[in-house]
Structure 1
Amino acid sequence: MRLIIAEKPSLARAIADALPGSVSREEGALRVGDTRVSWCLGHLLEQAAPDVYDPRYKQWRLDHLPIVPERWRLTPRPKARGQLKVLRALFKQASEVVHAGDPDREGQLLVQEVIEHLGWRGPVSRLLISDLNRPAVHKALAQMQDNAVYQTLYHAAEARARADWLYGINLSRAWTLTGRQAGHDGVLSVGRVQTPVLGLVVRRDLDIARFVPRPFHVLWADFQVAQGIVRGWWQPGETHPLDDQGRLMKRQPAVDLAARLPGAEGRLTSLEAQDKRQAAPLPYSLSALQVDASRRYKLSAKVVLDICQSLYERHRLITYPRSDCRYLPQAHWAEARATLGNACANDPTLEEWLADADFSLRSKAWNDKQVGAHHALAPSGATPDFSRLSTSEANIFRLIARNVLAQFYPALQTRDVKAQFTVLDERFHAQGREILVAGWKPLFASRDDAPPLPPLSEGEAARVIDQAVEDKETRPPEPFTDASLIKAMMNVARYVEDPAVKRTLRDTDGLGTEATRANIIETLLDRRYLVRQASALRATHTGQALIAALPEPATRPERTALWEQRLRAIAEGNDQAAPFLDALIVDLRTLLASADAERMRQALGSAEGFEAAPKRRANKSGGKRKTTRRRTSASTARRGSSGS
């Protein structure tokens, strides 16, 4: 008997439906001829609790730390015992086992740890499925490989699970105990990913709380030229008081110049035009989709992930969603007309976009060299029934289909124009953009492009017909949202100060993975380290205190991002798990030595003051930039660009 073990029941059903023969249901499995298709329910096993290794660890004590198992053990999750019993019985009947976990590191671990836990010693094949529709599953069944090919992936996932246990168990116990000594009642959870993510938010909130707005001033003038009106922005020279971004810090020079401008004659002294081509945005990875959906529809990262899982498992409308890749296999290009034809049926917007697609085009998205275990999110080729989709499901599906459709549109071609006017020996800049070929752009919401300038000729006369001084203030950084925090986790190198580490991290996956980033945010919210304020994510008093009490390396992204880099090396066979874990244990001892109740007490006290600071400033200034104008004439201008 052949036993196929899927990661979830939905995948098991898709596999059974693709096998030849009728499907019948058994307890915890599906039967198709001499094949049984069973499943896990997520992780059936988990790392054993410390007291499983030694009963004395049930009591939390600082002198027990670090807790390092000599021989690692897994225990069944409380709700998994029934399914493990089913699988144990099926293993006794099996002559062959097929591993059908999801095609990623965790999917490899999830099923293989069950196979090894239940003592199977026979052959194991690997079935990789990223699309639940029958033709795709049937094709995958014909292309199975020996599971031994994926052992390095399993070792990396196992090392990740053990490292997270070591890091989380030991540091959480240490800082919870010092927190109790400092008067904090409750568990203080520390994790190798969640804590640096919390650190990003806390530091952003601190920057906002400490921000002191500074006034600056801009002067614009509207120039009458031969074929229209252009707004230019004064470029004060270095003799004026400027900040490091070239902004004018004193108002009087702008006021003095504005008084001289009415009716002044000048010339267009410099004109530059540059034609540009921009390819369509690539198909989505999960994180890229979460960023766009958060901005467009105000959906949390977790909601977007859940919608994608529903579109994949329940509706079977998209391919495997937990992907970090934005490229598609070259073989999919030939099938795209049929796949997108089905995907766009029954929706007027998608059908309109489909009608204008040119399927002879081949964008850079079709690239086997860029495709790893997964490819980008794409429609599966099933025809959607929009009456069965929620509004959010339909919106997310359209985004996914749109980004693949855009690969069959021409490049966006624009002409960017920069003009410099000289009047009264002062320079004014204007810029605009003309769209030459719209290409893929109509599929996307309008972006904040500078409007086109009227036809211009270098050297032509220009007369000032209006001008104004605008008084502004520098603005604090924006608080993190789901979109910006996911983006920060993806591009963590920009938050690293060490140049060498920054260069290294540009090539890694950042903080967390596609599959975990949304859950990391939700975990921080559930543990009350973060709260939502409208769309903003802000750190709570407890979250602020925890970051202040921990040693700085534990709160910054460098360590965990470098972990991911090393785990990737293990997965690719270029590193070993044992040295990685040995180095972690050395690091843990250093971190544990810095646990200090007095530092925690000070952190709890300073966090109270920090939490009140933004409220005081908001009451004083309202937190908004102030803009006033002093106008010298009333004519209406056509704007060339914004100079601030």
Structure 2
Amino acid sequence: MRLFICEKPSQARDIARVLQANRRGDGCLQGQHVTVTWCVGHLLETAPPDAYGDYKRWSLDDLPIIPTRWQLVPKPKVASQLKVISQLLRTCAEVVIATDADREGEMIAREILERCQYQGPILRLWLSALDESSIRRALACLRPGEQTLPLYHCALARSRADWLVGINLSRLFTLLGRRAGFDGLLPVGRVQTPTLRLVVERDRAIASFVPQPFWRVDAQLEADGVSFKAQWQPPATVGDDAGRCLDEAAAKQAALRLCQQTTARVQTIEVEQVREGPPLPFDLGTLQEVCSAKIGLGAQETLGIAQALYETHKATTYPRTDCGYLPETMLDDVPRILHALVAASPSLGQAIKGIDPCRRSRAWNTSKITAHHGIIPTAITLDLTQLSEPERAVYALIRARYLAQFLPEHEYLKTQVLLQCQADPLLARGKQILARGWKAVINETHGNEPGEQTQRLPTLRESASVALTDAAAIAQRTQPPKAYTEGTLVKAMKTIANQVNDPRLKQKLKDSCGLGTEATRAAIIQGLIDHGYLIKKKRSLAASAAAHTLIEAVPPEVADPVLTALWEQALDRIESGQLSVENFLAKQAEWLTRLVRSNASLTLRTPPSKGPFCPVCRSAMRQRKGRSGSFWSCIRYPECKGTKPVARPKRAKNA
């Protein structure tokens, strides 16, 4: 009997349907010489610290806790399903691992096989979609189990190292916090702590931002009956590196001079014809970013919807992908998918008249595929009424990105005109769309283009004179950095390499897609929100006082994304067989021991659990006594000298 082990019941039902395993058994589906069973995510978990000794009571003296023999324990809620799989493994002739095709999916199955001491042959089913044709295609080319075994070793090393960091450093800094009078938990994690630091630093940048005034001078011009705007170009003596005028008097004088003139002369005209290809199909991180900006969905919400479109509706391919490219072998599916899309939404017919199924965008590149390709629709003819409103919105975005691959390039003329009015230079920018192309189905710009870039300029020629009808100096102020949203925080986690200086480590973070994985980023952000370390205000995220305290307390290397880069380097070596899991964990244990010893006597500048935020850096504050009485002072003093008065109790009206 061949036993298929799937990751979830829904996945098992889809595979069993193709295998004609329709007979219901206890925790499985059976057919002729084949049985399909399922996990419910991880059925096993790393044993808690008290399984390795008397560690229920937290104590600095016990740290670091480093197991000599690792133990896995069944998760209580799914122990019965583990028993089912254990019994099936005793009677099967071979196993096909059919869990999700990634490190974590490999681990879910392999840890069960190891616990049950299964010694038989192993094959791997590598699926990217759960529609029938994709399953049949994957069943026809099962991989040898040895080919994906290194993925298990990587996942195992990462899981155990994360346990070591999370258990030991969370206990260390929580105990140090208690010593300083802070009652809350101070959790530390390899990914969550650098993620939290991103928000803390952004909060501080916003709070300490001092807006700088500058002035823009707009001139209104006209030629051939067409009005357009140009901006005065300030001389270097009154401008900054960004070309902004910092001198109010100079701007107002320029506006006055321009108002006294009636014409300006065209000096130079630069015209560039631009052709833009479509954006790649979505990877999960980009989908989360766009859904946050356009629909207002959180990262976890987007993942849940994408997972439902994949598992429940069979409408899209595997969502937890870090790659937007598509394999050239999938070109054969294009006619069927396009036909299914139009059948599901006849209204698309008009919008996609320019579609050419034979067109090849840059997305079709097999050499750039990682474990999974981009998220695209399947050939299922979907009944859109069966989807919830958010599901329809996310599906429409995924569908639009796919359709865009078969539409012409977006073409436009970008024009820059330099004019002279006496001694004052003016610059006008314009954009004229020649062909909408793929923008007929997709437009994800978020309005950050300056308005003058989208204006259409009249036909001009060099040395021509144009009418100058008005001019005005407009006062403006520089803007602080924007608070993170869940979507922009996901993007920051993906592009964390931009904050690393070491070229080798920068490249490693780029290669490994930054902090966390496509599968874990949403859960990390949601966990920080659920535990009160990130506060959600409408779409924006802010760090709580406890978050500021934690980032202030932990050693810089713990909150530094470089740790993740070094881990990814090591995991690559494990995957290639150059490093063993045991040696990797021994190095982590050595580093942790050193870290615990060097910080065990640390005194945290930890505030009481209640108090205001610092007006400068948004850290927590503590009460101090000064010459004039009590006041609130930033816990980061002397680095930050933010203060606030202590609120006086209100007097009774009759007093």
Query: TM (normalized to structure 1)?
Result: 0.91
What CA distance in whole angstroms lies between the structure 1 residues aligned with 2:234 and 2:59? 64
Give the counterpart letter for 2:340 in structure 1: N
Give the counterpart letter for 1:559 in structure 2: L
Contact 2:22 2:29 in 1 (8 A): yes
What CA distance in whole angstroms lies between the structure 2 residues aligned with 1:61 and 1:309? 41
Contact 1:192 1:560 in 2 (8 A): yes
Matches within 5 A, 1:579-594: 579-594=583-598
The equivalent position to 1:78 in structure 2, one of 72, 76, 94, is 76
The equivalent position to 1:494 in structure 2, one of 488, 493, 498, is 498
Contact 1:268 1:421 in 2 (8 A): yes
Is structure 2 residue 152 aligned with structure 1 residue 149? no
Contact 1:179 1:597 in 2 (8 A): no
Contact 1:418 1:432 in 2 (8 A): yes
Q: How much does 1:97 deviate?
A: 1.2
Match of 1:639 in 2: none
Q: How much does 1:499 deviate?
A: 5.4
State the secondary structure of the residue aligned to 1:476. coil
Give the counterpart letter for 2:51 in structure 1: V
Give the counterpart letter for 1:477 in structure 2: P
Contact 1:489 1:511 in 2 (8 A): yes
Match of 1:18 in 2: 18
Q: How much does 1:446 deviate?
A: 6.9
**Superposed CA offset, 1:233-268 (max 9, x none):** 11111222x334332222000111211112423311
For residues 344 and 64 of structure 1, do their structure 2 counterparts lie closer, same or farther at Cα, with a shift above 3 Å needed? Answer: farther
What CA distance in whole angstroms lies between the structure 2 residues aligned with 1:204 and 1:596? 29
Q: How much does 1:607 deviate?
A: 9.9
Match of 2:247 in 1: 250
The equivalent position to 2:567 in structure 1, one of 563, 566, 572, is 563
Match of 1:346 in 2: 344
Q: How much does 1:356 deviate?
A: 3.2
Q: How much does 1:354 deviate?
A: 4.0
The equivalent position to 2:436 in structure 1, one of 435, 438, 441, is 438
State the secondary structure of the residue aligned to 1:381. coil
State the secondary structure of the residue aligned to 2:343. coil
The equivalent position to 1:324 in structure 2, one of 301, 322, 325, is 322
State the secondary structure of the residue aligned to 1:344. helix
Contact 1:103 1:373 in 2 (8 A): yes
What CA distance in whole angstroms lies between the structure 1 residues aligned with 2:463 and 2:608? 65
Contact 1:216 1:472 in 2 (8 A): yes
Contact 2:95 2:121 in 1 (8 A): yes
Contact 2:508 2:568 in 1 (8 A): no
What CA distance in whole angstroms lies between the structure 2 residues aligned with 1:568 and 1:608? 45
Is structure 2 residue 302 aligned with structure 1 residue 304? yes
Match of 1:479 in 2: 483
Match of 2:511 in 1: 507
**Superposed CA offset, 1:428-448 (max 9, x none):** 111111111211012123744
For residues 557 and 546 of structure 1, do their structure 2 counterparts lie closer, same or farther at Cα, with a shift above 3 Å needed? Answer: same
What CA distance in whole angstroms lies between the structure 1 residues aligned with 2:598 and 2:488? 32
Give the counterpart letter for 1:413 in structure 2: E
**Superposed CA offset, 1:583-632 (max 9, x none):** 322332343234367642x243699554555899xxxxxxxxxxxxxxxx
Q: How much does 1:227 deviate?
A: 5.3
Give the counterpart letter for 1:71 in structure 2: R
Contact 1:410 1:440 in 2 (8 A): yes
Matches within 5 A, 1:25-104: 25-54=24-53, 56-104=54-102
Contact 1:340 1:379 in 2 (8 A): no
527-536 or 497-506, which moves further after superposition?
497-506
Give the counterpart letter for 1:275 in structure 2: Q
Contact 1:326 1:377 in 2 (8 A): yes
What CA distance in whole angstroms lies between the structure 1 residues aligned with 2:348 and 2:495? 31
Match of 1:402 in 2: 400
State the secondary structure of the residue aligned to 1:150. helix
What CA distance in whole angstroms lies between the structure 1 residues aligned with 2:385 and 2:508? 48
What CA distance in whole angstroms lies between the structure 1 residues aligned with 2:266 and 2:595? 63
State the secondary structure of the residue aligned to 2:66. coil
What CA distance in whole angstroms lies between the structure 2 residues aligned with 1:121 and 1:181? 51
**Superposed CA offset, 1:159-192 (max 9, x none):** 1101101111110110111111111113221110
State the secondary structure of the residue aligned to 2:338. helix
The equivalent position to 1:216 in structure 2, one of 199, 209, 214, is 214
Q: How much does 1:225 deviate?
A: 3.0
Identity value in percent:
40
Q: How much does 1:455 deviate?
A: 1.0
Q: How much does 1:563 deviate?
A: 2.0
Q: How much does 1:452 deviate?
A: 2.0
Contact 1:18 1:135 in 2 (8 A): no
What CA distance in whole angstroms lies between the structure 2 residues aligned with 1:277 and 1:565? 38
State the secondary structure of the residue aligned to 1:554. coil
For residues 234 and 606 of structure 1, do their structure 2 counterparts lie closer, same or farther at Cα, with a shift above 3 Å needed? Answer: farther
**Superposed CA offset, 1:20-50 (max 9, x none):** x451111110111221110111000111111
For residues 576 and 414 of structure 1, do their structure 2 counterparts lie closer, same or farther at Cα, with a shift above 3 Å needed? Answer: farther
For residues 15 and 458 of structure 1, do their structure 2 counterparts lie closer, same or farther at Cα, with a shift above 3 Å needed? Answer: same
Contact 1:290 1:483 in 2 (8 A): yes
Q: How many residues are treated as equivalent by the alignment?
A: 612
State the secondary structure of the residue aligned to 1:471. strand
**Superposed CA offset, 1:484-539 (max 9, x none):** 10110111122334555434433331011111111111000111100100100110
For residues 603 and 340 of structure 1, do their structure 2 counterparts lie closer, same or farther at Cα, with a shift above 3 Å needed? Answer: farther
What CA distance in whole angstroms lies between the structure 1 residues aligned with 2:603 and 2:429? 53
Flag as ranges the 4+ runs of structure 1 deviating above 6 A.
Answer: none
Give the counterpart letter for 1:101 in structure 2: T
Matches within 5 A, 1:132-531: 132-226=130-224, 228-240=226-238, 242-264=239-261, 265-445=263-443, 447=445, 448=449, 450-498=454-502, 501-531=505-535
What CA distance in whole angstroms lies between the structure 2 residues aligned with 1:426 and 1:577? 68
- Listed as ranges, the gaps of 5+ residues in structure 1 are 617-644
Match of 1:631 in 2: none
Q: How much does 1:556 deviate?
A: 2.4
Contact 2:154 2:575 in 1 (8 A): yes
What CA distance in whole angstroms lies between the structure 2 residues aligned with 1:569 and 1:343? 43
What CA distance in whole angstroms lies between the structure 1 residues aligned with 2:282 and 2:257? 53
State the secondary structure of the residue aligned to 1:538. strand
For residues 606 and 435 of structure 1, do their structure 2 counterparts lie closer, same or farther at Cα, with a shift above 3 Å needed? Answer: farther
Query: TM (normalized to structure 2)?
Result: 0.90
- Listed as ranges, the gaps of 5+ residues in structure 2 are 620-655
Contact 2:21 2:29 in 1 (8 A): no
Q: How much does 1:569 deviate?
A: 4.1
What CA distance in whole angstroms lies between the structure 2 residues aligned with 1:476 and 1:319? 39
Is structure 2 residue 607 aligned with structure 1 residue 604? yes
Contact 1:340 1:401 in 2 (8 A): no
CA-atom RMSD, angstroms?
2.0
Contact 1:48 1:75 in 2 (8 A): yes
State the secondary structure of the residue aligned to 2:524. helix
State the secondary structure of the residue aligned to 1:505. helix
What CA distance in whole angstroms lies between the structure 1 residues aligned with 2:414 and 2:362? 24
The equivalent position to 1:128 in structure 2, one of 126, 133, 141, is 126
Match of 2:553 in 1: 549
For residues 271 and 481 of structure 1, do their structure 2 counterparts lie closer, same or farther at Cα, with a shift above 3 Å needed? Answer: same
528-537 or 443-452, which moves further after superposition?
443-452
247-256 or 477-486, which moves further after superposition?
247-256
What CA distance in whole angstroms lies between the structure 2 residues aligned with 1:489 and 1:289? 14
476-485 or 326-335, which moves further after superposition?
326-335
Q: How much does 1:329 deviate?
A: 1.2
What CA distance in whole angstroms lies between the structure 2 residues aligned with 1:172 and 1:60? 11
What CA distance in whole angstroms lies between the structure 2 residues aligned with 1:45 and 1:467? 71
For residues 10 and 354 of structure 1, do their structure 2 counterparts lie closer, same or farther at Cα, with a shift above 3 Å needed? Answer: farther
For residues 475 and 117 of structure 1, do their structure 2 counterparts lie closer, same or farther at Cα, with a shift above 3 Å needed? Answer: same
What CA distance in whole angstroms lies between the structure 1 residues aligned with 2:517 and 2:152? 16
What CA distance in whole angstroms lies between the structure 1 residues aligned with 2:381 and 2:231? 52
